Amino acid sequence: DSSPRSFTIPSSLFGSGYDSLSSQEKSLLQYFIDAIGPTCICFPTPPSTNLSINTSNDTLTSSHSKANPYLHLIVPLAFQSQVVMDALIAASAHQLFILGNSKYEQLSDSYSERTIEQLSNTLRQKQRSQCTDWDDFLAAVLMLCFKEISSNRDYRSCLLYTSPSPRDMRRS
């Protein structure tokens, strides 16, 4: 089924979340939605997965019902969590830096640092309150990993993140 599918974000979250973004942050969010998210492949889907923000009726709309998790989980979560929004903006800015736009390097680093600080605070808060909802924490970590892995042009260096260490292998 390829009919459009809408994800409604409560006006209170969408309005304050989107309206409080700077024009540069809005641009980086849109870049993630238009350029980065659709190219992230988690599982096979048709190539025509599009997501758009409609500020007049507070919806995110997709052109395909099989949701790309980067677009359909991370983006809506970013409107509910500053740490996820900052991590998403860091990843978007970093991608533009990798593509040759050096003005985004400092911005990406700044948002990454903010995200790491927020993750530390979030971790302590969630542990103290014995929280069971870690979606925002995990999404922010995922986006920081996404940024880091995309920095490594040599695919073998990415294997370091996914391969067990020799010490871990001896334990098994």
The string of DSSP letters for 141-166 reads HHHHHHHHHHH--SHHHHHHHHSPPH
Q: Tell which wins on pLDDT, 112 or 41.
A: 112
Q: Going by DSSP bridges, is the β-strand pair 51-54/5-8 parallel, antiparallel, or unpaired?
A: unpaired
| Dihedral pair phi/psi, residue 134, rounded to 5° | -110, 15
87 closest CA partner among 58, 62, 123, 116:
116
112 closest CA partner among 80, 133, 143:
143
The chain-wide mean pLDDT, for the chain, equals 74
pLDDT at 54: 57
pLDDT at 55: 53
Query: In the predicted model, is pLDDT for residue 106 greater than 80?
Result: yes
Find the mean pLDDT for residues 142-155: 78
Residue 88 binned pLDDT confidence (cut-offs 50, 70, 90):
very high
Q: pTM for the whole thing?
A: 0.70
Residue 34 binned pLDDT confidence (cut-offs 50, 70, 90):
confident
pLDDT at 166: 46
